Amino acid sequence: MKKNDVVLGGGILAIALVMFLVMHLTRNEAGNQIQITVDGVVYGTYSLEKNQVIEVKEDDFYNRIRIQDGAAYMEEANCPDGYCEEQGKINGRTQTIVCLPHKLVVEVLDADGLENDSASEQLPDTISK
């Protein structure tokens, strides 16, 4: 190995370490709401500060998301693999829960000045199958 090889390897390791630290530090920043989308269409936005259960029903699929103690998790789903139920609790700004068979995504957002989460709890008319 030559000196340039060692410098190149060290540079790559340093960049990887910096990227890991940035991802790790931003992951721990808690959001204050979640947004649920179904097939790319926003289903609703909900505060993480209010303990509640959101049931998403469309045709044959069913998902139940629970918000409790500032974190959200998939409590129940009737998808064949059940992987979304195993993804655990989320409350960090970069965390998501995905149910691929139902095309459902739950993501944590950080929106300052969340005014009224009940206004967006209605299922939009644009979701259809």
What distance, in Å, lies between the first and last C-alpha atoms of the chain? 60
pTM, two decimals, is: 0.65
How far lies 29's CA from each of 16, 35, 67, 91, 105, in Å? 21, 17, 17, 8, 20
The yes-or-no verdict on residue 121 having pLDDT over 50 is no
Looking at every residue in the chain, the average pLDDT score rounds to: 83
β pairing state of 104-109 and 41-47 = unpaired
Instruction: Please name the residue that has the structure tokens 């992987």.
Output: 83
The two structure tokens encoding residue 101? 């068979």
What's the pLDDT score for residue 122? 44
> What is the C-alpha to C-alpha distance for residues 60 and 77, in angstroms, rounded to an integer?
11
Question: Span 110-115, mean pLDDT?
Answer: 54
DSSP assignment letter at 124: P
38-70 pLDDT per residue, tens: 999 999 999 999 999 999 998 889 999 999 999
Backbone angles phi, psi at 49, to 5 degrees: -85, -15
pLDDT tens digits along 5-19 = 999 999 999 999 998
